[in-house]
Amino acid sequence: MQKIGVIQGDGIGPEVIGEARKVLDVACERNGTSLDFEEFPLGATHYLKTGEVLSDETVSRLEEKDAILLGAMGDPRVKPGVLEKGVLLRLRFHFDQYVNLRPVQLFDGVPCPLAGNDRKVDMFFVRENTEDFYVGLGGRVGRGKSRAELDLVRKAYEAKFDVGIDLKGEDELAYQIGVITKGGADRVVDFAFKLAKEKRMDLVTSVDKANVLTDVYGLWREAVERASKKHGIAKEFLYVDAVALHMVRNPERFKALVTPNLFGDILTDLGAALQGGLGFAPSGNINPEGISMFEPVHGSAPDIAGKGLANPVGAILSAALMLQTLGHVKAAEEIERAVRDVLAGRKHMTTDAGGRTSTSAMGDAVASGLRAL
């Protein structure tokens, strides 16, 4: 029996995770799979009651799990970043979940903002999840803060460019440092090429901005070159702005994309928009050799929490992605098929896609469709 840690989280998190659990129960029953779920009451309510964001004891208990299923983090009662960094990012880094996997597929029956009704979009993003501009190296200098720090920044800048930096009066300087290591790039790029080979794809698109950020993304390109030769799969290098353009004009050209952290964060939400909205988008924070965490990407949406308006499809598909990663491929495929059948029927659609189906009714529809397969 595999052990799953469940963090419902904030806002609509408990609602969508409830529907994902409902569908998981049916899928497991159909396939003779046993999962042992344990709830962890992390989020705004727990923080406001106890002052605790994420304890070392809770992390230790999560270390005993085979996977984590997460709803959403964020609440207007708590300063932005406290929960997101304290829970979500801490877990990603602690469990070294260096791959963020985001499938982007169009669903029959779901309105798509692209012109034409015969678009065939089926791509996946492999986003590096622990490096780049998310490592937290940076700061602000000025208004009486460390002049020594300013001197260090100035010297580093002027060593590269013949431009002076000086702060006068109330002026400030802010800087953020992006970091990519050879090991970090190699492992996520290798994952992308392996996945492309498994899916019988013959091209991996690498996303960067190496024409401007030459050092970090020059190293990134070297990793892509090595993986392409190793796996015998062709690669192409595209700048992030070109990828954004093609995703709108010709998204069918993409199958597998591997991206540094920041660019992947942005482009995958563009991919969700193509799908019909964030409510349809699943994701997995994956450590292939360790504990992975799966979550819908829509956030906590506190304005609709408790109203039965949330779309649970992203959470349900995240649960399917969890099953697939745990080795239950047939059960995962059946959930995906049930979701597709329900959406194609157009009878059940939540408000974000122009329908009136409630959160629980959508979960019921997918569960019923799954039983009928």
Bridging pattern class, strands 35-39 and 234-239 = unpaired
Residue 209: active-site member: yes
Each residue's pLDDT tens digit, 273-323: 999 999 999 999 999 999 999 999 999 999 999 999 999 999 999 999 999
Percent of the chain at pLDDT exceeding 70: 89
State the average pLDDT for the chain. 91
Q: What mean pLDDT do residues 163-177 have?
A: 64
Q: What mean pLDDT do residues 26-43 have?
A: 95
CATH dotted code for 1-105+282-373: 3.40.718.10
CATH dotted code for 112-130+180-275: 3.40.50
Residue 239: active-site member: no
Q: What mean pLDDT do residues 100-112 have?
A: 92
Residue 151: active-site member: no
**pLDDT band with cut points at 50, 70 and 90 for residue 48:** very high
- What is the pLDDT, as a whole number, of residue 113? 82
Q: Which of 10, 75, 132, 265 is catalytic?
A: 265
Q: What mean pLDDT do residues 164-191 have?
A: 80
Each residue's pLDDT tens digit, 138-162: 666 665 555 565 566 656 555 555 5
| SS3 annotation, the chain | CEEEEEEEECCCHHHHHHHHHHHHHHHHHHHCCCEEEEECCCCHHHHHHHCCCCCHHHHHHHCCCCEEEEEECCCCCCCCCHHHHHHHHHHHHHCCCCEEEEEEECCCCCCCCCCCCCCCCEEEEEEECCCEEEEEEEEEEECCCCHHHHHHHHHHHHHHCCCCCCCCCCCEEEEEEEECCHHHHHHHHHHHHHHHHHCCCCEEEEEECCCCCHHHHHHHHHHHHHHHHHHCCEEEEEEHHHHHHHHHHCHHHCCEEEECHHHHHHHHHHHHHHHCCHHHCCCEEECCCCCEEECCCCCCCHHHCCCCCCCCHHHHHHHHHHHHHCCCHHHHHHHHHHHHHHHHHCCCCCHHHCCCCCHHHHHHHHHHHHHCC
Each residue's pLDDT tens digit, 233-278: 999 999 999 999 999 999 999 999 999 999 999 999 999 999 999 9
Q: Which of 36, 151, 171, 241 is catalytic?
A: 241
**pLDDT band with cut points at 50, 70 and 90 for residue 1:** confident
17-21, 153-157, 339-343: least confidently modelled range: 153-157
Count other C-beta atoms under 10 Å from residue 287's C-beta: 18
- What is the pLDDT, as a whole number, of residue 23? 98
Q: What mean pLDDT do residues 66-70 have?
A: 98
pLDDT above 90 for 171: no
Q: Which of 3, 209, 255, 341 is catalytic?
A: 209
Q: What mean pLDDT do residues 89-104 have?
A: 95
In this structure, what token pair is assigned to residue 23?
Answer: 């569908």
Could you tell me the pTM of the whole model?
A: 0.90
Q: What mean pLDDT do residues 86-107 have?
A: 94
Q: Scanning the structure block, which residue is given the tokens 């059946």?
A: 334
CA dihedral 358, 367, 319, 41 (to 10 degrees): 60
Q: How far apart are CA 273 and CA 150, in angstroms?
A: 41
Give residue limits of the domains in the chain: 1-105+282-373, 112-130+180-275, 136-175
Residue 241: active-site member: yes
Residue 175: active-site member: no
